[in-house]
Amino acid sequence: MRQIVLDTETTGLDPDDGHRLVEVAGVEVLNRQLTGRHLHLYVNPGRDSDPEALAIHGLDTAFLSQYPGFEEVADQVIAFVQGAELIIHNAVFDTRFLDAEFKRAGLAALNTHCAKITDSLAHARELHPGKRNSLDALCERYGISNAHRVLHGALLDSELLADVWLAMTRGQDSFIMDLDPHAGGSADGAMDTREIAAGLPVVYASADAVAQHEAYLDELEKVANQPPLWRTLSGV
């Protein structure tokens, strides 16, 4: 599936308090490869950023005043994310702001324009419970350099998150996924696993390995006073 790794910057923490987007960016991932296509938009929020937010992204009112409001670029955002899976770190935060901006522009919510929204922060917490799972922490954990990240920026952060996401999900790959899809398969394009298995070498255990295994099972049987499950199922 086509994926878009997305990030935003805002004037504050809560769109219900009138805070707005100031930057939207995303990078495209196709077949687990960055394609080089990206979206990067600065947005005039029509208001000042809170001091705390300004300290994070550094996008002041004077700089943003030269850019259009979100209503004028909403179609570009929709076109870029259309039909894709969105990967967003702490997705609830970004989607609340994007939904508020779409609503203000008279457009449907973000999830109606994309295939699904995946929260990379939730995924990281499942993989690394009890550990720090900020973008900086994940970059350090997966050996991804973020030395050039002085201020938060939506495009830079989406690029870093794309690298982190690919590293976090690397174990989800299988050798079957990497096979030539034109080499054969079922009518729906799926690989026939029987054909794959037929081409794999069969490696038998040596006589010594079999003897050691049987000795191990003998010991288990003595301790448990009953045959091991392996022998029960195999009828040995």
What average pLDDT does this structure show over 210-228? 76
Per-residue pLDDT tens digits for 44-74? 999 999 999 999 999 999 999 999 999 999 9
Is 3-177 assigned to CATH 3.30.450.80? no
Per-residue pLDDT tens digits for 69-80? 999 999 999 999
Element (H, E) at 118: strand 116-119
Each domain of the chain, given as residue ranges in start order, spans: 3-177, 204-234
What pLDDT does residue 39 have? 97
Which tokens go with 70? 């979100």
Kindly state the DSSP code that residue 193 receives in the 8-state scheme: H
Contact indicator for 42, 59 with CB cutoff of 8 Å: yes
Residue of 19, 38, 152, 182 marked active site: 152
* 152 is known as an active-site residue: yes
Per-residue pLDDT tens digits for 132-165? 999 999 999 999 988 776 567 899 999 999 999 9
Confidence check: pLDDT of 235 > 60: yes
What pLDDT does residue 217 have? 76
- Residue in 220, 236, 8 with CA at minimum distance from that of residue 110: 8
Contact indicator for 93, 66 with CB cutoff of 8 Å: no
Rounded to a whole number of angstroms, the distance between the first and last alpha carbons of the chain is 47
3-state class (DSSP) for residue 12: coil
DSSP string, 211-228: HHHHHHHHHHHHHHTS--
